[in-house]
Amino acid sequence: MTMRLIWALALPLASGGNSLSSLMPGDGTPPGWQRKGQENLFAGAELYRHIDGGAELYIQFGFDRLAVQDYVKDGHEVRVEIYKMNDPAGAGAVFAEITKDMKMQSLYGTTCVLDDYQIFFRRGAYCVSITTYETGAEPLAAMAALAAKIDMTLIDLSQ
């Protein structure tokens, strides 16, 4: 067996078995929306390349990896970020710190916060952020559809 094959088999096991990429909705969720560009993946200290000012919080509570994917339709854009922590306690601690003094809801995940620009929820060892920088029915509907799809995938993953 070559070293390349050994690494190809070992890397998925070392990263926790399931890929964050499998949690990202494909094109057409919701209808007409498409992925824009490549999915970006960050592991460990690479998180500083994505959120330099906020990485410490995630790393402090056991950050494992992050997947980031943008979705577009007719000039509208939504960003999905799926943070995988080492365990549910770490995800809970990060979520609690970020959402301190915000109104909790139960629409997505085990708990969530939402407004016209973001849906942020937690389920198990995952924190999911879905963000847009514009208002309107189209991006709001896209954020809701993406959150629902990711949440259902996380529920299926845990069973």
Taking only the tens place, the pLDDT of each residue in 28-51 is 999 999 999 999 999 999 999 999
Taking only the tens place, the pLDDT of each residue in 95-124 is 999 999 999 999 999 999 999 999 999 999
Q: What is the DSSP letter of 49?
A: G
Residue 152 lies in a domain: yes
Residue 7 lies in a domain: no
The pLDDT, as a whole number, for residue 125 is 97
How many independent structural domains does the chain possess?
Answer: 1
CA distance 36 to 121: 23
Residue 3 lies in a domain: no
Residue 18 lies in a domain: no
CA distance 142 to 71: 9
CA distance 87 to 84: 8
DSSP string, 84-144: EESSHHHHHHHHHHHTTTSPPB-SSSSEEEE-SSEEEEEETTEEEEEE-SS-SHHHHHHHH
The pLDDT, as a whole number, for residue 10 is 37
Q: Is the pLDDT of residue 56 over 80?
A: yes
Residue 151 lies in a domain: yes
What's the Cα-to-Cα distance from 119 to each of 7, 140, 152, rounded to whole Å?
Answer: 37, 9, 15
What global pTM score does this model have? 0.88
Residue 83 lies in a domain: yes
Q: How many CA atoms lie within 13 A of 92 on its CB side?
A: 5
| % of the chain at pLDDT higher than 70 | 89
Q: In this structure, what token pair is assigned to residue 98? A: 């970020």
Residue 50 lies in a domain: yes
The pLDDT, as a whole number, for residue 159 is 76
Residue 82 lies in a domain: yes
Q: In this structure, what token pair is assigned to residue 12? A: 């998925």
| Domain region containing 71 | 34-158
